[in-house]
A = this chain, B = another copy of it.
Amino acid sequence: MMFPKDFLFGVSMSGFQFEMGNPQDAEEVDLNTDWYVWVRDIGNIVNGVVSGDLPENGSWYWKQYGKVHQLAADFGMDVIRIGTEWSRIFPVSTQSVEYGSPDMLEKLDKLANQKAVSHYRKIMEDIKAKGLKLFVNLYHFTLPIWLHDPIAVHKGEKTDKIGWISDATPIEFAKYAEYMAWKFADIVDMWASMNEPHVVSQLGYFAINAGFPPSYFNPSWYIKSLENEAKAHNLSYDAIKKYTNNPVGVIYSFTWYDTVNKDDKESFENAMDLTNWRFIDMVKDKTDYIGVNYYTRAVIDRLPTTIDFGEFKMNWYTLRGYGYSCEEGGFSLSGRPASEFGWEIYPEGLYNILIHVYNRYKKDIYVTENGIADSKDKYRSLFIISHLYAIEKALNEGIPIKGYLHWSIIDNFEWAKGYSKRFGLAYTDLSTKKYIPRPSMYIFREIIKDKSIDKFKGYDPYNLMKF
C-alpha cells in the first residue's frame, strides 16, 4: 500500500531542547525559562532529580538550523515542525499590555525581542526555501520565568509566579500567540498552540517523580493547570485564526491503556478520560486537527478502592514492566524490546489511539511525535516501520491522518534526563556539533521515497506488525 500522495513525512523539534549549543554566546543562551533554572538547581542535581546536563551544551539548532533543514531535505522529507520559545520573544512580562486593546500588538512589538523575532523568521524562511512545509508550535513545556518560578513553587515558598496555576497565564499566552500569528502568518503552514499540556500538568503536580518543574504534589493543581492550558489554547486558536486560514491545532501525548483483565472497562475508561479525553474535550471546538504524540502504552489494573482526589477519582494503577515502566534497554514483560528510556515498543497502541481519537472527535490527525531513545540504533528502523504500519492500518480504515513527524531529526536535550536519551535520526556529536545520520535515517529516506513500507513488511523480528 502507498501512503496518500499528500501525506507528509517529516520531523518534529522544540525550541529549548534543540536551540542552544554555545554557552559563551549571550544572545543565544535563553536564561528566561523555568526549565533553564530548574535543570541547574543544586538540590535537583544532588538528588538526581535532573541529570546535571545543561541545555547550553546542546545541539545548536539556533546556529546550525541550515544544516538541519538541509538534512531533512536531503532525506526527502516534506515538513519540519519547530517550536518557538515564548521567553525568547518576550523576555520580560507582557502583563502591562491590555489584552484585546486596539494597540496591543504595537505595544507587544515594543516589548518583544526583535533579534529573536527576526532570527526565527530566518529559520522559517530557510525551511521554506528548502522546499519544506513549516509547522510551528508555540509552547513546549517551557514557561517564561516572569510567569513561573519553579524552585519557589517546589519549595512551597510564597510567589506569584505560579505558572499554569495562575489565571493570568492563559491571557498572557493568548497575547504571545496573537503576536506570533501577526508576525508569521504569511509563512507558517500549520500552527499548534502547545505540546503535551497533560504532561506538563501530570508530571508537574501529580506523578512528580519525573523531574519536571515544579514537582509539587497537588492533585487540584494538576486539574487546575490543565484547565488553564485548555483556556490558553482556546484563546490562542481564535487569536491565530484572525490572521490565517491554515490549520491551527493542539499537540497531545496520548497513552494507550491495556487492562490486566480484558473486561475491566471501568479502569480503561477512567484512565482514558482522565489522561486523554479530559483535556481534548475542553478544546475540541477550537482545533482544526489533533496532533497525536505517541510513544508507548500503559498496562493498568484496578485499585482495591477508588481514590477520590477531589477534582477527579482514580480506580487504577500502572503496572511496572510494561509501557513506560520497563527496564532501560531491557524487555517488557510481554517480551517486547524497551528503549534506552525503558519504553516498550508497542505500535498497536498508536493504532488504537488513532481509531479512538478519530471516533471521538472526527478531526484530521497529524502524528506529531513518535520516536525512540536508541543511541545504538538497534531498534529505530523497526520502530519507524512498525508505527507506520499502525498508521497505514488506520488509514485503510478511513482515518484522515495527514502526516508523520518523527521525533526527531537530531539528538536533543531530553529534559530531566539531559543528553543521555538519544532520539535523533542523526547522531549529534555534542563536542563538534556535527550531525551524522544513523542507519535508520537511510531507512526512513527509503520509506519516504517509496511512500510505502511494503518492502519491509515480511521482516519483523519482534512480531510488532502482527496485530
Q: Which of A's residues lie within 8 Å of B, judged by CB?
A: 42-43, 46-49, 154-157, 206-209, 216-218, 307, 309, 375-379, 381-382, 427, 429, 432, 434, 436-440, 442-443, 446, 455-459, 461-462
Whether B462 pairs with A438 at a CB distance below 8 angstroms is no
List, in ascending order, chain B residues with CB within 8 A of A446's CB.
442
In the complex, which residues of chain B have a beta carbon less than 8 angstroms from the beta carbon of A381?
377, 439
> With a CB–CB cut-off of 8 A, which chain B residues contact A434?
458
Cross-chain contact A47 with B442 (CB below 8 angstroms): no
Smallest CB separation, A87 vs chain B (Å): 25
Name the contact of A458 in the complex, choosing from B208, B376, B429 (C-beta under 8 A): B429
Which single member of B309, B378, B436, B437 contacts A378 (CB below 8 Å)?
Answer: B378
Return chain B residues, CB-CB under 8 Å to A207: 46-47
Contacting residues, chain B, for A48 (C-beta < 8 A): 209
Which 7 A-B pairs give the minimum distances between C-beta atoms? Answer: A156-B156, A43-B217, A378-B378, A381-B439, A436-B458, A376-B461, A436-B459
Q: Is the Cβ of B443 less than 8 Å from the Cβ of A455?
A: no
Q: Beyond A439-B381, A442-B442, A442-B446, is A459–B209 a contact (Cβ under 8 Å)?
A: no
Which residues from chain B contact A438 at a C-beta distance below 8 Å? 459
Are A47 and B209 within 8 A (Cβ)? Answer: yes
Give min CB distance, A61 to chain B, whole Å: 18
Q: Which of A49, A439, A443, A457 has the most CB atoms of chain B within a 10 A radius of its CB? A: A439
Closest residue of B by beta carbon distance from A44: B217
Chain B residue with minimal CB distance to A320?
A: B48
Beyond A47-B207, A377-B461: 20 further Cβ-contacts under 8 Å? Answer: A42-B309, A43-B208, A43-B217, A46-B207, A47-B209, A47-B217, A49-B209, A155-B156, A155-B218, A156-B157, A376-B461, A376-B462, A377-B382, A381-B439, A382-B439, A427-B459, A436-B456, A439-B459, A442-B442, A442-B446
Say which residue of B43, B206, B429 sits within 8 Å of A46 (CB atoms).
B206
What residues of chain B lie closer than 8 Å to A462, measured between beta carbons? 376
A443-B439 contact in complex given A47-B207, A307-B42, A458-B429, C-beta closer than 8 Å: yes
| Chain B CB within 10 A, most for which of A206, A375, A378 | A378
CB nearest to A208 among chain B residues = B47
Whole-angstrom CA separation of A381 from B443 in the bound complex:
12
With the chains together, A49 CA to B307 CA distance in Å?
Answer: 17
Q: Are B155 and A216 in contact (CB under 8 A)?
A: yes
User: What is the CA–CA distance of A150 and B155 in the complex, to the nearest angstrom?
Assistant: 13
Closest-CB distance, A192 to chain B (whole angstroms):
30
CA distance A43 to B221 in the complex (A): 13
A455-B437 contact in complex given A207-B47, A209-B47, A307-B42, C-beta closer than 8 Å:
yes
Query: B440 touching A439 by the CB < 8 A rule?
Result: yes
- Rounded to whole Å, the gap between the CB of A450 and the closest CB of chain B is 11
Task: For A459, list chain B residues within 8 Å (CB).
Answer: 377, 427, 436-439
Please tell me if the beta carbons of B378 and A376 are within 8 angstroms of each other in the complex.
yes
CB distance from A425 to the nearest CB of B (A): 11
Contacts of A442 in B (CB 8 A): 442-443, 446
How far does the alpha carbon of A209 sit from the alpha carbon of B45 in the complex, in Å? 12
